[in-house]
Copies of this chain bind each other. A is one copy, B any other.
């Protein structure tokens, strides 16, 4: 006995990954409903070797569905939440719409799976940067409480969707060919360029992406004592985020212990060859489920502090995989 599963935003960068993840993990799908805007309706996408036609999202789309995986932006999530939940369909939402809403669990299954079971119709999938950081931070925090993290991120185009990935490629080709290119997806030139994250600026000088990392982490860890400050930067990489985390603990955690904890942590792979100065990088991690970590070193500038290098596929653990894992915890 399987489930009738809807994907909202089926033609997007994350939507396509939802299908691949459901198939690869053998999620018990009896029927798959692909939903998108009117513009994308009629597109055909393969699932388990069978063509499926994308239909237009309407308030009746969720009839008989058990699970809807949403990745079509916060506006669509807000607009269709009620129709989805009223139809008795669990909404796992990849947007930021409900993440900080009281009563909506915000879940990274390796960190707080118990929260997924307490849902009232909606489970929020955290921000990609938050998920990837927490895969590395939580195992350390459980062994030795974290006081403060200074994070700097190296974020891929995919966080801004499929069109941004195409714009990165198109603008780079134009640059190499000496041709002009006007960006229309991202606000700045992207070819061989980078810029602080283009999410909305807040009054405190941080952008939304940076405050998501701080606030969502506290909610997921259920621990307001963990303070995270970050600088989020969009770099010309296609689908994999990297993060340099400087982590201050309340007391000393040794480098050896940190490696031991991360080597056995679920969803984490330690990849490095220290003698060769070889650490995880986007070309290693694109298409991989696990978050890759390494370069753990003792900070020479103050006690009780470690540096960790973390790399994760933004579309998988940062989005589609984590959402499907949330559904598995809640439904299976």
A177-216: CB near B (< 8 Å → 1, else 0) gives: 0000000000111001111101111001111000000100
Known: A154-B154, A204-B298, A297-B206. A193 touches B282 (CB 8 A): yes
CB-CB under 8 A from A228, the residues of chain B are: 301
CB-CB under 8 A from A172, the residues of chain B are: 172, 176, 192
Q: Which of B192, B233, B295, B302 is within 8 Å of A205, CB to CB?
A: B295
Q: Which of B194, B244, B282 is within 8 Å of A231, CB to CB?
A: B244
Interface band, chain A: 35 or more
Are the C-beta atoms of B301 and A227 separated by less than 8 Å? yes
CB of A299 closer than 8 Å to a CB of B: yes
Query: Which A residues between 55 and 85 are near B, CB-CB below 8 angstroms?
Result: none
CB of A168 closer than 8 Å to a CB of B: yes
Query: Which A residues between 89 and 146 are near B, CB-CB below 8 angstroms?
Result: none
CB-CB under 8 A from A154, the residues of chain B are: 154, 194, 233, 235
Query: Which A residues between 219 and 267 are near B, CB-CB below 8 angstroms?
Result: 227-229, 231, 233, 235-238, 242, 244, 246, 255
* Nearest CB on B from A181, distance (A): 12
CB of A26 closer than 8 Å to a CB of B: no
Report how far A169 CA is from B204 CA in the complex, Å.
38
CB of A50 closer than 8 Å to a CB of B: no
CB of A300 closer than 8 Å to a CB of B: yes
With CB as the reference atom, state the residue of chain B lying closest to A229: B301
Query: Which A residues between 276 and 313 are near B, CB-CB below 8 angstroms?
Result: 276-279, 281-283, 295-302, 305, 307, 309
CB-CB under 8 A from A235, the residues of chain B are: 154, 194, 235-236
With CB as the reference atom, state the residue of chain B lying closest to A236: B236
With CB as the reference atom, state the residue of chain B lying closest to A151: B152
Grouping DSSP codes into helix (H, G, I), strand (E, B) and loop, the A interface class, with mixed when no group exceeds half, is mixed
CB-CB under 8 A from A188, the residues of chain B are: 278, 281, 283
With CB as the reference atom, state the residue of chain B lying closest to A299: B229
Are the C-beta atoms of B152 and A231 separated by less than 8 Å? yes
Are the C-beta atoms of A302 and B227 separated by less than 8 Å? yes
Are the C-beta atoms of B204 and A300 separated by less than 8 Å? yes
CB of A275 closer than 8 Å to a CB of B: yes
CB of A274 closer than 8 Å to a CB of B: yes
With CB as the reference atom, state the residue of chain B lying closest to A309: B196
Chain A to chain B: the 8 pairs with minimum beta-carbon distance, closest first:
A205-B297, A152-B152, A227-B301, A231-B244, A229-B301, A195-B281, A150-B150, A152-B244
Can you name 17 extra interface pairs (CB under 8 A) apart from A193-B281, A198-B277, A229-B300?
A154-B235, A172-B176, A187-B278, A188-B283, A193-B282, A194-B242, A194-B281, A194-B282, A196-B309, A201-B275, A214-B300, A229-B299, A231-B246, A231-B295, A235-B235, A236-B237, A246-B246
Seen from chain A, the residues whose Cβ lies within 8 Å of a Cβ on chain B are 148-150, 152, 154, 168-169, 172-173, 176, 187-189, 192-196, 198-201, 204-207, 214, 227-229, 231, 233, 235-238, 242, 244, 246, 255, 274-279, 281-283, 295-302, 305, 307, 309
